[in-house]
Amino acid sequence: MRTKYSYIPAEKPHVCDVCHRAKQKKLPFTVSKSHTANIWGPYSVISMHGFRYFLAIVDDFSRFTWVISLHTKSEVRNHIVNFIAYVENQFKATVKTIRTDNGAEFAMKNLFSSKGIVHQTTCVETPEQNGIVERKHQHILKVTRALLFQANLLHLFWNFAVQHAVFLINCTPTPLLHNIAPYEKLNGRPYDLSSLRVFGCFCYSSTLTAHKKKLDDRSVHGIFLGLSSNTKGYIFLNLKIIVLRYQGILSFMKTIFHII
């Protein structure tokens, strides 16, 4: 077919180098079926227990998420070792593939080789290749912010909010699993939501019977900070202890600086 500019010779297809250099974009990524893990942090506000990071591990099959709070990135190796043992013992399964970024904390070649685990890493500046856990980070942080804002809690309690956010996400049905919750997909049964409480709500905890006198308080007031993962109970912030500590610090400061 002759064109208006057919007088311009074009005997061979010509690749414009300038176009590639000026316009090239990344190709789309296919959906991955590997297990993913990544670290978020450091956060500028150190948590109540000194945490600055968290390690998120996502099972691609069920989309169930585990979150482990970290003081430093150097703790990752021990947690990965423990997590692999946890999967083998609790689910009678083996971890076959782990996908992470290129962080030095995930350089555990000997461990992965001994377990027969394929360790996949993303290309430099290509978080899309680990998109599942990257999107999971965004989801976790959105829910975490909402919990802290709703409860009017200081950022000091962010690690509790993160843990409770992940609990809610794991128990919420998702279109990705045909409206099945990740918890149900992983465990074969829905989570019993009878223990669910409002994060950051004002609550009362029964006092211990030891050394209790007849006219002593039978409960103390505090704040609900989530469910305990290893104990059948709730995480409770005792406001009486906080007030007493504050009063003690204030009294100490008055002594030092002669504040009236």
pLDDT in tens, 209-250: 777 777 777 778 888 999 887 777 888 888 776 554 544 444
Domain boundaries, the chain: 35-194, 202-257
Beta-carbon contacts of residue 217 (< 8 Å; ≥ 6 apart) = 207
Q: Give the mean model confidence (pLDDT) for residues 64-89.
A: 94
Average pLDDT value over all residues in the chain: 79
Kindly state which CATH superfamily the domain 35-194 is placed in. Answer: Ribonuclease H-like superfamily/Ribonuclease H (3.30.420.10)
Distance CA 39, CA 51 (A): 13
Residue 222 pLDDT: 86
Amino acid identity, position 37: A
**Span 16-46, pLDDT tens digits:** 664 554 446 554 443 334 468 888 889 999 9
What is the b/e burial string over 185-211, where b = at least 16 CB atoms within 10 angstroms of the residue's CB? beeeeebeeeeeeebbeebebeeeeee
Residue 13 pLDDT: 60
Confidence of residue 162 (pLDDT cuts 50, 70, 90): very high
At residue 121, the 3 state secondary structure works out as strand
Strand order in the sheet with 219-227: 202-206, 219-227, 234-238
146 against 253, higher pLDDT: 146
pTM of the predicted model as reported, rounded to 2 decimal places: 0.76
